[in-house]
Structure 1
Amino acid sequence: MGFLGALLFPFTIIYSSVTKFRNYLFDIGFKRSFEFDANVIGVGNLSVGGTGKSPMVEYLIKLLADNYKIATLSRGYGRKTKGFRIANDNDSASSIGDEPYQFYNKFKDIDVTVGEERAIAIPHILAELESDVILMDDAFQHRYVKPGLNIMLTDYSRPFYSDFVLPTGRLRESRDGAQRADIIVVTKCKEDITEQEMDAIEKEVSAYAPNAQVCFTSIKYLSPKPVFDNEQFSDNILLFSGIANNKPLIEHVSTHYQIMDEFYFADHHAYSTKDMNGLEERFRRMPIADKCLLTTEKDMVKLLDPALESTVHHLPIFYIPIETYFVRGGKIFDEMVLNSIKQYSE
């Protein structure tokens, strides 16, 4: 835990006690969890950011979109608007949040919605949209809504069962909260993970959530794409991002390309003209003509903001898309998702 962790541990006890008491009030029915006349699938985690929720939501969209009308529901973290909102062509990352705008920008046949209070937002979705399935993003602690299927993610490099509650660790509530999950997905596994390692992890997870199905996924990085025009990609990179966990990104990019400079902002960073001018200055100082800037898909959508147009459109900026794939348990995962929808429909 270290000296700082020991120093913060009393505050962890207080925070953990508060969240446990809150969960107890929901468990005994003093605080009410609402169930709706809809297929609601929740995707969330116990920790603060960085577990791969967006790639998992995208996986679910691809799994379901051919047969069901889908609506995503997110809080819209970092947006400049309030209340319930259905995304439209006038929106941007600043009006609905970076991750919802990524969904809207990428999937044209789904409805993307945001709303801080999910229990208020879902009736709006049911009244205004023809949705067969609602994918509720980052709502594991939002217990005012009880999903039909609760999917919890945990990062392979920092699993919930070896982490601590804030501020000592990164958990939003105690490890016992995992027992609310129907499926626990260990995300961002290394490519060469063995069956023995997965067996050991599953045993640790099952100690806190004995009734949950445990699955394992990894991240696949796709070929870089230009943000604007058809620029020529270069292996000489200025890498920048504003995500919760840069480690997998840096490992992949450094393996395949030459990182000549790098700069990392905080998670959900809202890019300004000053930020981009600073990045351009660093980029121009790189001592080579054949070069480009590279960022993540989550950051890319924020660069599409009209306020940044004059600052970024002339730069050779590329983004690297990612997608999640199952290492173990993919067939069972798909079946549980589809069965939860069929059971409700029946």
Structure 2
Amino acid sequence: MNLLRKLLFPLGIVYWVITFFRNKCYDWSWFSSQSYAIPVIAIGNLSVGGTGKTPHTEFLIRLLKNQYKLAVLSRGYKRKSKGFVIANSSVSAEILGDESYQIYTKFPEVKVAVCEDRRTGILHLLEHEQLQVILLDDAYQHRKVQAGFYVLLTAYDDLFADDFILPFGNLREPSIGKKRADVVLVTKCPINLSDKEKSTIVKKLNVNVDVYFTTIMYDEEVYSEEGNELLQSFKNKEKVVVVGIAKPNYFIEKVKNDKDHIKVYPDHHNFTDAEIAELNNWSKTHPIITTEKDYVRLKGKIKQNLYYLPIKIKFLENEFSFTNKIKKYVESSTRNSSLFKK
């Protein structure tokens, strides 16, 4: 832990008290929290970024989209717009935010919207759409909304049980917030994680709900506007690797070789004109491989040789148990509620 964070430890104590008391005000109903007549599933974490919320949200979309009329609502982090925006053919990644735009382009049959205030966002969605399920992406701390089911993510190499409150550590709220979770997913695990280590992690997390383990699975092909090619065909080529995500090392290790030029940017980075010009220069002589999230911000700006590598998540075990919990919640909520109550 660096010196600055150590110096900020007293501020961390203040932040802990504020966030703890805020949560208690919701727990004690001193602050109002809105619940809904349709199933609302919140996907989030206790820490700042890097747990894989978007691919896990996409997993839930694939699970539910063919059976239910589905919407995904998020904040739209670092977007160049304000208020409620619903995705359509006239929006861009800059207007919607990169992750929301990525979801919109991959799942056009699903309603995708952004709003800083999720309560306002849900109200707008229900006014215009006959929805059956709403997924809230990155809304674990948004206590104004009372979701019916909470999916808490924590990264294998950065467990919330090993972390501290901001700014001393990376936790957005005290780890006692884990008690709101209906399930916990330990993400970005090694594919060969042992049963002994799983058991150790479960004990360390100390939760009273089921814990599942997932890993990131990269596609074997890279994609561009012109089509797709095997990733292996790029492994020995000199190329430019462009990555602007919270934890870039997984991606870099998957695609790089010793001849590559690695360009690392902050998460959700808005590329400047100078950076775009530099990448366009590189693209004249080198393929550029980037993440799916970065691709939606670079598409149309890099004129040639731009590829992205998609990812999905895979359960190490017990996938059916997890999906069955989700389906049972949605089915019971849909059956027992007035779906379109205003």
Bin the TM-score by the shorter chain.
over 0.9
The residue that corresponds to 1:144 in the other structure is 144
Q: Tell me how far 1:114 sits from its aligned partner.
A: 0.8
The residue that corresponds to 2:312 in the other structure is 323
The residue that corresponds to 1:312 in the other structure is 302
Residues 1:198 and 1:259: Cα distance change in structure 2 (over 3 Å): farther
1:246 aligns with 2:248: yes
Q: Tell me how far 1:125 sits from its aligned partner.
A: 1.0
Distance in 2, Cα, partners of 1:283 & 1:261: 12
8 Å CA contact 1:35, 1:146 repeated in 2 = yes
Q: Tell me how far 1:11 sits from its aligned partner.
A: 1.2
Residues 1:67 and 1:35: Cα distance change in structure 2 (over 3 Å): same
1:217 aligns with 2:214: yes
Distance in 2, Cα, partners of 1:83 & 1:223: 38
The residue that corresponds to 1:49 in the other structure is 49
The AA in structure 1 aligned to 2:222 is K
Q: Which runs of 5+ in 2 are unaligned?
A: 337-342
8 Å CA contact 1:253, 1:259 repeated in 2 = no
Q: Deviations over 1:106-159 (max 9, x none)?
A: 012111011111111112111101211100000000001111100010000100
TM alignment of 1:1-346, pairs within 5 A:
1=1, 3-206=3-206, 209=207, 211-230=208-227, 234-235=234-235, 236=237, 237-254=239-256, 257=257, 260-281=260-281, 291-304=286-299, 309=300, 311-313=301-303, 315-345=304-334, 346=336
2:277 aligned counterpart, secondary structure: helix
Greater mean alpha carbon deviation, residues 13-22 or residues 224-233: 224-233
Greater mean alpha carbon deviation, residues 235-244 or residues 83-92: 235-244
Residues 1:259 and 1:33: Cα distance change in structure 2 (over 3 Å): farther
Distance in 2, Cα, partners of 1:163 & 1:19: 16
8 Å CA contact 1:39, 1:134 repeated in 2 = yes
Distance in 2, Cα, partners of 1:53 & 1:329: 19
Residues 1:80 and 1:61: Cα distance change in structure 2 (over 3 Å): same
The AA in structure 1 aligned to 2:82 is K
- Give the TM-score normalised by structure 2: 0.92
Q: Tell me how far 1:259 sits from its aligned partner.
A: 5.2
Q: Tell me how far 1:166 sits from its aligned partner.
A: 0.9
8 Å CA contact 1:227, 1:300 repeated in 2 = no
1:328 aligned counterpart, secondary structure: coil
Residues 1:130 and 1:205: Cα distance change in structure 2 (over 3 Å): same
Distance in 2, Cα, partners of 1:4 & 1:115: 33
Q: Deviations over 1:3-59 (max 9, x none)?
A: 443212111111111111111111111111110111100000001111000000000
Distance in 1, Cα, partners of 2:182 & 2:259: 41
Distance in 2, Cα, partners of 1:173 & 1:231: 42
Distance in 1, Cα, partners of 2:147 & 2:282: 46
Q: Which runs of 5+ in 1 are unaligned?
A: none
The AA in structure 1 aligned to 2:296 is V
Distance in 2, Cα, partners of 1:242 & 1:92: 18
Q: Tell me how far 1:247 sits from its aligned partner.
A: 1.6
Residues 1:320 and 1:259: Cα distance change in structure 2 (over 3 Å): farther
The AA in structure 1 aligned to 2:201 is I
Q: Tell me how far 1:281 sits from its aligned partner.
A: 4.1
8 Å CA contact 1:12, 1:165 repeated in 2 = yes
Greater mean alpha carbon deviation, residues 95-104 or residues 124-133: 124-133
Residues 1:343 and 1:95: Cα distance change in structure 2 (over 3 Å): same
8 Å CA contact 1:238, 1:259 repeated in 2 = no
Q: Considering only aligned residues, what root-mean-square deviation do their CA atoms show, in Å?
A: 1.7
1:134 aligned counterpart, secondary structure: strand
